[in-house]
């Protein structure tokens, strides 16, 4: 069978159903795919941090970004894209506002010309109440940080990085993306470490759903769901990274397990994870949850598509590797992630 045909079939299986990803793994499909890749590695920084209190938090942010090889930001416009899908008191739904503020201040110390916080929530057409109740609004105002609601930003229409390997025409052949992102010098995805009832985990790649404007694609980003969630994740990432440098800083100090991304329960993990390869960052994050990243559909496909590295042997961890932990509770249909972890 020709290699390209095999590649097409593998990617189709990987993106269309998590169960098929499991079968592909058992049949050694991922091992075959790795032979098509070079043997270089991706650098991921990991730092342990048990609290959002200062000064420990600011020091941890500085260490993890240095360990992960943050590119120079002096004179640059940097956009931080957190996960602010909603706010429920006492439930770790969103990226912690204190981590966002610590990151803003650190980037300013490194000489960034401007640091912007930007989000386009999927299930809310007005983010103001979320920003207010989470404390982010007050923090940003105090430090004079500009916030942009990506659901209503001016847009650039870009050729979409569609996945030709997947059967069926993509709905994202032309992708409208906010200019705050497309005209930045660096975009840092800052997700919360959480399980997700549709895709297993929501980390730095899934966080990119909030980069797509609701005024164009609906709430909760309906077109992305019609296109296939895993497929859309990778097409958004491919399009963005062809336009602007990307980085990730994962809030794993307190995460969420169970019925994520909104209705799960808090789970302390005590770590920050960062890197320029978002798939590799997510792979380290998933492993810290006791889950098998190669069986998460969009992560397994990211490696097959050469959008990032997921295999542990292809990732070089700098800093403080995560300590062992019992697996996160996951939605029932994703129990295979734990069993293989």
Query: Tokens 């399009």 — which residue?
Result: 239
Q: State pLDDT tens for residues 84-113.
A: 988 778 888 899 999 999 999 999 999 999
pLDDT over threshold 60, residue 189: yes
Q: Is 30 helix (H, G, I), strand (E, B) or coil?
A: helix
- Asked if 153 contacts 180 with a C-beta cutoff of 8 angstroms, the reply is yes
| Torsion angles phi and psi, residue 37, rounded to 5 | -100, 160
Task: Give me the pLDDT at residue 8, please.
Answer: 62
Looking at every residue in the chain, the average pLDDT score rounds to 89
Class of residue 215 by CB neighbours under 10 A (exposed 0-12, middle 13-18, buried 19+): middle
- How many residues are present in the chain? 341
Give the domains, in start order, of the chain with CATH numbers: 3-340 (3.40.50.11440)
pTM score:
0.90
Q: State pLDDT tens for residues 212-226.
A: 999 999 988 999 999
As given in the structure block, the two tokens for residue 148 are 């942009």
Alpha-carbon distance of 294 to 327, in angstroms, equals 16
219's CB contacts (< 8 A; 6+ apart) are: 122, 123, 124, 125
């Amino acid at each position: 069978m020709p290699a390209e045909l095999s590649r097409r079939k593998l990617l189709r299986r990987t993106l269309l159903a998590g169960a098929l990803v499991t079968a592909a793994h058992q049949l050694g499909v991922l091992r075959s795919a790795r032979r098509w890749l070079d043997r270089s590695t991706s650098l991921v920084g990991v730092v342990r941090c048990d609290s959002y209190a200062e000064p420990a938090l600011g020091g941890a942010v500085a260490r993890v970004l240095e360990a992960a090889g943050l590119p120079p930001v002096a004179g640059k416009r940097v956009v931080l894209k957190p996960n602010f899908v909603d706010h429920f008191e006492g439930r770790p739904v969103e990226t912690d506002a204190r981590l966002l503020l610590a990151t803003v201040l650190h980037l300013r110390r490194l000489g960034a010309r401007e640091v912007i916080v930007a989000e386009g929530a999927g299930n809310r057409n007005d983010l103001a109440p979320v920003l207010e109740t989470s404390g982010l609004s007050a923090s940003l105002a105090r430090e004079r940080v500009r916030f942009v609601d990506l659901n209503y930003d001016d847009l650039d229409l870009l050729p979409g990085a569609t996945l030709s390997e997947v059967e069926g025409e993509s709905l994202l052949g032309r992708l409208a993306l906010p200019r705050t992102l497309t005209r930045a010098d660096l975009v840092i995805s800052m997700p919360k470490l959480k399980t997700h009832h549709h895709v297993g985990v929501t980390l730095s790649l899934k966080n990119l759903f909030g980069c797509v404007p609701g005024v164009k694609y609906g709430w909760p980003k309906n077109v992305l769901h019609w296109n296939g969630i895993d497929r859309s994740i990778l097409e958004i990432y491919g399009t963005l990274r062809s336009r602007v440098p990307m980085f990730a800083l994962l809030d794993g100090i307190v995460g969420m397990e169970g019925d994520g991304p909104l209705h799960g329960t808090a789970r302390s993990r005590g770590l920050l994870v960062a890197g320029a390869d978002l798939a590799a960052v997510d792979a380290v994050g998933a492993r810290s949850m006791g889950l098998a990243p190669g069986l998460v559909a969009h992560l397994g496909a990211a490696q097959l598509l050469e959008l990032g590295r997921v295999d542990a042997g292809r990732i070089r961890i700098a800093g403080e590797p995560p300590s062992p932990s019992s697996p996160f509770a996951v939605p029932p249909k994703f129990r295979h992630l734990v069993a293989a972890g």
